[in-house]
A and B are shown apart, each in its own frame.
Chain A
Amino acid sequence: MKLIHAKQGDLTDEETLVKQCRAGNNMARKSLYLVYSKRLLAVCYRYCGNLDLAQDLLHDGFIKVFTTIGKFEWRGKGSLELWMKSVVAHVCYDYLLAQKAKNEVELKEDNDAVDEATLEDESMAAQLTERQLLDFVAELPEGYRMVFNLYVFEKKTHKEIAEILGINEHSSTSQLHRAKYILSKKINEFIKHEAKK
């Protein structure tokens, strides 16, 4: 069946998939799932830092995608993937924000001086695998991780991040820089450790 073999970037089939999903066609839904699920799982993992929880959030994310796909507007190549990522990310940070007790500790405003984030060996860092990079993000403290994801991947401004997370803009900036510092430190240590082997 044509729909099963739909590939990302194939405009006609992507549009067809959307139409069929709106009509409640389960084959089309499954096709959409097969094309994007692995990518969206990585998004969930980036946000929550736990693979089991990421699978659960992906489940909720797809339910949200299929129930709100009627609101999606086709805006050219890649728009469907962007929209799906946005929906799934929304599900993730909504969930994380709902864990209030945890987040109140993590999202406290931090006015300490921002440390410098520097990659000592950029060429070695470029050779790191996607999974290794994902693990580094997953290991970030939850508040930093959310700000980092929203800023780097969702392209949100600090103002928007502040509104989403209920913090002030300065705190968002500070947490982003701290996240980057932690990441650079982890990458540098990892590269050194690998070099010693």
Chain B
Amino acid sequence: MGLTVSGAVPEGTEVSSISPNWVTTKLDFLTNWARKNSLWPMPFGTACCAIEFMASAASRFDLSRFGMERMSFSPRQADVLICAGRLPFKLAPVIRRIWDQMPQPKWAISMGACASSGGIFDTYTMVQGIDTIIPVDVYVPGCPPRPEGLMYGITLLQKKIEGETIADPDLRQEHLVGEHGLFLPANRIDEISEPFGNSVHQTRSA
């Protein structure tokens, strides 16, 4: 990951989001190829999904094949945050801090139903999807997803990285917690957290 895009573009090169030129596309190809094949995961395992994640990392499924050789237990050396399991509100500031500590470029995978939507836990303790706390790139459904599911999610993330380009000015933008104390608008969080499936039959007062 030694080759950074911002350092490699010579001063004065005009980079436009409308017309990527020969230099940027070749550079994108090279950096994206390097990045997608050396994703270092930061495992944030909170529940049973973490067990499937461990299985994915172990010899039978072997995440190393995707360049995820090294589990990064420090966020400062990590590229992709994998939230494996449910996230209670008590852990929300923790995952947010870990995400803020990760350097760019960084991605996030939400593994399992609970991390993606709160799952069956539509209760007072549970964050209804980690996308209300941090931006998420890939959602892996399942309860818990099998290792094949997680690996499919990882290949999807690799495809997404292949499509990234320096010509996109918003690509490496940090989405910080704003002055109002949230990273998304409040009505957006309420909308994401709306009950669905069986829990729509349950009123807020029940």
A and B found bound together? no
